[in-house]
Chains A and B, each alone.
Chain A
Amino acid sequence: MTMQRREFLQAAAAAAGLGVLAGCATTAGGARGKVVVVGGGYGGATAAKYLRMWSGGSVEVTLIEPRESFVSCPMSNLVIGGSKTIADVTTPYDALASRWGVNLVRDTATGVDVDRRVVTTAGGRSFSYDRLVLSPGIEFMFGTIPSYRADAARAVEIAPHAWQAGPQTVLLRRQLEAMPDGGVYALSIPLAPYRCPPGPYERACQVAWYFKRQKPRSKVLILDANADVTSKKGLFTKAWNEEYKGIVEYRPNHALADVDLATRTLKFEFGDDVRANVINVVPPQRAGAIARTAGVVTANDRWCEVDFLTFESIRGKGVHVLGDSTQSASGMPKSGHMANNHAKVAAAAILNALAGKPANPAPVLTNNCYSFITDKEVVHVVSVHQYDAAKKSILPVPGSGGLSPAMSELEGRFAFAWAQNIWADALM
């Protein structure tokens, strides 16, 4: 393709994008200005798209994200179980630029000057903003594991967390493939709150699904720092007692004290050491590092408290924090679905603020987490959260929400539909 032709196609795509945007211009409500979004995950990508869509293109949006494409944590446990590949959970970022006119910057934000309203990057660039959105996900607290302190990067090559999807997911899958039949896979779960409450139990099911078919003499050992299964307890326990009987063993109250990386042995505050063939250590987590840099980590030195009408930090003026980095409201899980909904409340509030209007006084959120028990059979937990003005929080509506009665293939089909729709909602 010649240069001119490529440029022409890009211009055509951009024009088509403006066509999409012009259709929404009536809802823009006079918002003008510049928004910088840091992190193109579930929260940040959705915020970038909705800021452009809902402003009819009148607000300039820059998205800073170092990854080449979006790799989803939701559905990544199927890659670990072997029924999907990493390509199946990967979506390119291009449409955010070509269709929605987002300025994509492939870089890492390293500095935030909240007073001057400027973000700087590892690549040496700086971006000024009227409003800043931070959705950097999680950072691992490697310092809580003594043997990780010297070289955490090496430690996670031996004991993958696979709690940020990408190379770690593929590494854990390879370790499981290389494991001999009759081996043990041990999964260490940190104390709540952590990203995706049902995620570790879904992962145990997916590894058990693989073992049952390919390595039937092998075991899945779940070592949970929590006193009990933190999500969908009845449904997971049933799966371990029936579908995966003799494969999965669950041990509560197993807070990790240290890891002997040389012998792949997990050591606990209480309880016997566990030596295994594959050790999957999910360390405790806190808000992504850039939140600390921006000075918006306000709760327990871990999470960012926000005003739930706008998702603006209670400390950093003009800084909105989304997704896993936030101090969750009561009953609000750290999930991709939630991060997507946070993004929409924040986008609406930012556009109102840029137009000199107050925020919507009654924001609503939904959440749904599907968990795969087998490669096809799925269970859900769903909830609706409404703003409570007296408590200044977004709380689950009593009498709403709930769980699946049992796993089903029908919900498996809906889970794949959820993934296609939420990926497109954030990125296309």
Chain B
Amino acid sequence: MQAIMAIPVLALAATTAFAQAPDANQARDMAATCANCHGTNGVSRGGTDSLAGRSKDDTASKMRAFKAGTRPGTVMPQLAKGFTDAQIDAMAGWFASQPAK
């Protein structure tokens, strides 16, 4: 219960920072946290799905489903809960703009 209540507060804090002082590379920087498992710029070396070149909608809708608990997974449901919807959209848009190979 405590955890559920806390999300909107932090989510708000993160969105405000995001809105106040935009940095041209903010989406790139956030997407770089996915590279450890999904490969540099979203081009996987194998064992996980590549994110580069996928449609923004595909990545964003899967992330939202992980977050909502309607899409099963091992790490992703727990990871997706750490990002706001605005952050998910920003990362999904950035991956969509990357060459698939």
Contacts and interface: CB of A to CB of B under 8 A. Distances in A.
A124 interface: no
Interface in A393-428: 396-402, 404, 408, 410-411, 413-414, 416-418, 420-422, 424-425
Nearest to A363: B29
Interface stretch (A126-134, A154-162, A167-175, A382-390): A382-390
B25 A401 contact: no
Which label, helix, strand, loop or mixed, suits the secondary structure of the A interface? mixed
A27 interface: yes
Interface in A43-64: 50, 53-54
Contact of A399 (B7, B24, B46): B7
A310 interface: no
B37 interface: yes
B100 interface: no
A11 interface: no
A362 B14 contact: yes
A401 B78 contact: yes
Interface string B36-71: 111110001111100000000000000000000000
Interface stretch (A1-9, A178-186, A340-348): A340-348
Interface residues of A, number: 55
B74 to A, nearest CB: 6
B7 A418 contact: no
Given A383-B82, A411-B74, A416-B47, A362 B3 contact: no
A229 interface: no
Given A386-B10, A413-B47, A348 B75 contact: no
Given A361-B21, A363-B29, A364-B87, A421 B74 contact: no
8 contacts: A337-B36, A344-B33, A386-B14, A388-B13, A396-B82, A399-B3, A400-B78, A401-B78
Given A360-B23, A384-B81, A399-B81, A344 B14 contact: no
Contacts of B80: 400
A425 B35 CA distance: 7
A366 B81 contact: no
Contacts of B46: 417, 420
B78 A340 contact: no
A296 B14 CA distance: 30
B47 A420 contact: yes
Contacts of A98: none
B6 A384 contact: no
Contact of B21 (A27, A358, A400): A358
A82 interface: no
B47 to A, nearest CB: 2
Interface string B1-30: 011101100100110011011011110111
A417 to B, nearest CB: 2
- 4 cross-chain pairs, A with B, having the tightest CB-CB distances, nearest first: A384-B82, A417-B47, A400-B82, A398-B6
